[in-house]
Amino acid sequence: MGGPRGWWSDDHDRMTFIEAFSILVAVVGPPKILLPFLVDTEGADARRRWQVALTSTALAIATGLFVIVAGRLLVAVFHISSGALMLASGVILFVHALDLVLGRNHSEDNRELATAYYANPVAVAYLFLMADASDIKYTFVLAGGFLAVIALDLAAIAVLGILLRWVRTTYVWVLVRILGVLLAALGVDLIINGLTELKVL
């Protein structure tokens, strides 16, 4: 993985909506956001879950669109390399995964911040990379792909809310532990890729 520059054609001006959407689904699609949503809304009623979901969605849209629009400028101003972004996101993701595996939860008062699951560190890092790699005139393509994925995630949350009526919490926590291990592995993979791109490995 050398960053998103290699995920579409060499002429990145030709990035399409489908390409942007498929990349973002892999980074911040339902499989990535449902786990933290489950953790942060454990024991909450349907009204509370929707409150958290809508608050987090609004925060994610604001954060994502800001990064997409200003990403090229911020990366240039701070002289941040794609390797450094991947390394930082890998470390943060690994620490977050340990919290899931070990059962360390966020407090009730911090839920709205903790559940910015769409705008998790990995998603933000890749949005920076994609914004930096995309031509300015295709900013709207990237923004459209991001908003479409957010809509898909919100639909997945609605389906999850229905399923939770029949799924026991014990089974959910088993899934949390398993997926936490997988997220830790993804964090390690990002760390290795970041070190490789920085030519440390």
* Alpha helices for the chain (secondary structure H): 17-28, 30-40, 46-78, 82-102, 111-114, 121-133, 139-163, 169-197
Q: Which of the residue ranges 11-20, 56-65, 70-79, 180-189 has the most confident prediction, judged by mean pLDDT?
A: 56-65
Query: Distance (Å, rounded) from C-alpha 128 to C-alpha 83?
Result: 12
**pLDDT tens, position by position, 103-154:** 665 444 444 444 456 666 667 777 887 776 656 777 888 899 999 999 999 9
In a domain, 149, yes or no: yes
Q: Within a domain: residue 44?
A: yes
Residue 183: predicted pLDDT: 75
Look-up of token digits 């014990």: 170
Distances (CA, A) of 79 to 6, 137, 172: 20, 22, 42
Number of separate domains in the chain: 1
Query: Looking at the domain assignment, is residue 2 inside a domain?
Result: no
> For residues 151 and 55, what is the distance between their CA atoms, to the nearest angstrom?
14
Residue given tokens 């090229």 in the structure block: 72
The string of pLDDT tens digits covering residues 53-74 is 888 888 888 888 998 888 878 8
Q: Which domain holds residue 136?
A: 14-197
On whether residue 180 sits in a domain, the answer given is yes
Specify the pTM: 0.70
1 part of a folded domain? no
Is 174 within the bounds of a domain? yes
In a domain, 124, yes or no: yes
* pLDDT for 169: 60
